Every structure is written in C-alpha cells, then in structure tokens.
Copies of this chain bind each other. A is one copy, B any other.
Amino acid sequence: MDKTTKAAPALSPENTRETLIREALRLFGDKGFDGASTREIADAAGTNVASIAYHFGGKSGLHRACGEAVAKMLANASGQTAAPHEALPISSEQLRLRISDILKRMAAFLFSSPQSDLAVPFILREMAHPGEAFEAIYSGMMEPVHKRLCVLWAGATGGDPESDEVKLTVFSMIGQLLYFRIGARAVSRRLGRETFSEQDITAIRNVIESNISARLNIAAKGDA
C-alpha cells in the first residue's frame, strides 16, 4: 500500500513522454492544474520530476501538451462524424438522420470511449476556466461541429443556419447530452446507482433522441 500509486511505469525509453501526458491528463482532470503536483504526476508515470522539465520545459508545458493531445483525440472522433467532401443530403428525413447520427457518435465518445475518460474531465475543467487549451479545443472541435449541426438543423427546419435561434437550439441539444456527462454523479445517484450501466446509457440516448425528434417536428411546423 504505497501512498502514491505507480499506475503505469514507463517501460520503453521514448514512451516516457506519452506516459507523462496520459497520467497528467488524468490528474489534471481529476484535481485541476493547481491540485495536481509535478511530483505526483511523475510518480504516477513511473519517472521523476526532472523529466517533466526535460520533456516539456515545465508544468505549464506539460499542461499545454495535454491540451494538444485532447484536441487530437477530439479531431479523430469528430473526423468520423464529418467526412470532408460529403454532399449535403437533400431530403428533410435524411437531414434528421444525419443530425441524430452525429449526436449518437458524440454520445458514444462521451460515454463509451476509453479515451473520453481521460479527455472529458480535462475538457470540462478547461471550459470552466478557459485558457489556451480551451482555445484549441473550441476552435478545433466545438465550433466546426456546432456549425455543421446548425447547417443540418436549418436544412431540416427551414431556418437560417447562422441565426441565434438555430445556434441556441443546437446548443440546447448538445447541452443536454453533455450534462449527462458533467452531472453524471448527480444523475446516477438519483437513479440509485453508483455508476451508469450500459442500459442507462442506452436510456439516455433514447431520451435525447426523443427530445430531438420532438423539437424537429415543432420547428418544422413553426418555421418557414
């Protein structure tokens, strides 16, 4: 029973760098930038404090590297949702399928991806206290995905893709999904569980699916 858990010793020489990033992502996400000490991170990575300065120039350099790693993870996840040269589907029904498909993939990343367990807490802290990492995440990932959803949503409902109403409506759909991740402790507790089961995640997806579908029906009637 050590007081510091050496979770993942860096076996290969060149892997020290990525092991440090992985453990830093975990500890920054868990305790925040100020809460996680460099000694703690180094111990968890199975190396020493000096290696942080050597590889990243210091603690803030390590944090920067974590931001870049997260941005890369997100780029991969969103790259699957946004084919570069895709043609916009024409029919309203196709647009609706496309929208719920994107949100399904987001849900899969948020709840079922092993990477997200590292990335999500880190991102959430960045959102609460935006720094340069937030910049990279926002403009690299959040805005492109949101913009794309706005185009699809406006196509399905007949509104203006860049209107505040469409932007906010799309945010409300993304928001309810993210909340289940952010407020997971409160939600799972209210359900009487310690953590989400696979069934819970399916139920969450169904609820969001219903919400989107309900809202699209109204919007299609109300607009244009």
Contacts and interface: CB of A to CB of B under 8 A. Distances in A.
Interface residues of A, number: 53
Interface stretch (A56-64, A82-90, A96-104, A162-170): A162-170
B129 A30 contact: yes
A186 to B, nearest CB: 6
A69 interface: no
Given A32-B34, A33-B35, A190-B143, A183 B178 contact: yes
Interface string A169-187: 1011111101110110111
Interface stretch (A8-16, A44-52, A119-127): A119-127
Interface of A is mostly: helix
Nearest to A32: B32
A55 interface: no
Interface in A144-202: 146, 164-165, 167-169, 171-176, 178-180, 182-183, 185-187, 189-191, 200
Interface stretch (A18-26, A105-113, A206-214): A206-214
A203 interface: yes
A39 interface: no
Interface of A: 30-35, 121, 124-125, 127-130, 134, 138, 142-143, 146, 164-165, 167-169, 171-176, 178-180, 182-183, 185-187, 189-191, 200, 203-204, 207-208, 210-211, 213-215, 217-219
8 contacts: A121-B128, A143-B190, A164-B191, A167-B190, A172-B179, A176-B176, A178-B179, A210-B219
